[in-house]
Amino acid sequence: MGDDLNSEIDAAIAYIQRHLYEPLPLAKLARHIGYSPFHFTRMFKKRIGLPPLYYASALRLQKAKDLLLETSLSIRDVGLEIGQQSLGTFTTRFTDRVGMSPSHFRHSSEAAGAHLRLLRELNDWSERRPSLMPHGAIRGTVFTEIPFEGVILIGLFPKPIPEGLPLYGTLISSSREFWLSDIKPGTYYLMATSVSWGASAREFLLPHATLRTRSREPIVVKPYSSVLELPVTLHPPLPDDPPILISLPLLMNRFLNRVSGGRRTTEIPSFAGDGMR
């Protein structure tokens, strides 16, 4: 039963990917694999962590990122390609979930490459930790299924998808040990990905092939909880991994600003929230 269900959800994912440019009502998706909309939504969310229509929306925004960098389509036309009739709605949704406007994203390649070079030259990756931590903390070690040298980005998100600025996060390099501190009580999902030192800016602006992981189950931080130990293993992309929507260069930039004490002047514009605390 489990294998049959996984193959059916795999079929639904493949169908969504093939028909991104078409309307995808829930009833049509459910009918494709022979379920009722209610049962299909429940099974899909159990496997992916997201409702099917939210997942489809995320794939469309990922496609918008591709189109912004790989075509000369206007921003309005990019929005139309993914089914957004309103330029304002498209811009707002893109900004909320990628962390910068479509226009800034389209023109961020040069700064992205500069951020990776600065990280490679960085000697001290340590961030100042508060002497008193009134809230929780998570620490762990990152492993990779294949050899890897570069930067690893780790964040806690409110949903099981790396979109919008993470509520807490950090970057690590060769040490492979991470620490997230002063985490307020709540429910989070850990997401992590990697950028190799030799990656081009486009490869991590459009991170389709980066090593990654996600917590399949929510991480619950309780008041006055002890430090949570969390081993993390990065793997090549899996068919059911959600797209990485947040701009990785934006997270690099914010980390560089933190470890430099805010003395840097080169910055990719950011929008809502503090993120990556």
* pLDDT at 134 exceeding the cut of 90: no
8 Å CB contact between 127 and 262: no
pLDDT of residue 131: 57
Contact 168, 180 (CB under 8 A): yes
When pLDDT is averaged across residues 75-96 and rounded to a whole number, the result is: 96
Q: Please tell me which of 88-92, 124-128, 214-218, 269-273 the model is most confident about, judged by mean pLDDT.
A: 88-92
pLDDT for 270 equals 40
Q: For residue 191, how many C-alpha atoms fall within 13 Å in the half-sphere facing its CB? A: 26
110-259 under CATH 2.60.40.1120, yes or no: yes
Is the confidence at residue 120, as pLDDT, over 90?
Answer: yes
Residue 238 backbone dihedrals phi, psi, to 5 degrees: -105, 155
Give the pLDDT score at 96. 97
> What are the structural domain ranges in the chain?
2-106, 110-259
What architecture does CATH give domain 2-106? Orthogonal Bundle (1.10)
Output the six-digit token pair for 124: 């001290």
pLDDT in tens, 173-225: 977 899 999 899 999 999 999 999 999 999 999 999 999 999 989 999 988 77
Tokens 């991470």, located at residue: 178
Q: With a cut of 90, say whether residue 241 has pLDDT above it.
A: yes
**220's tokens:** 């619950």
The pLDDT assigned to 176 comes to 87
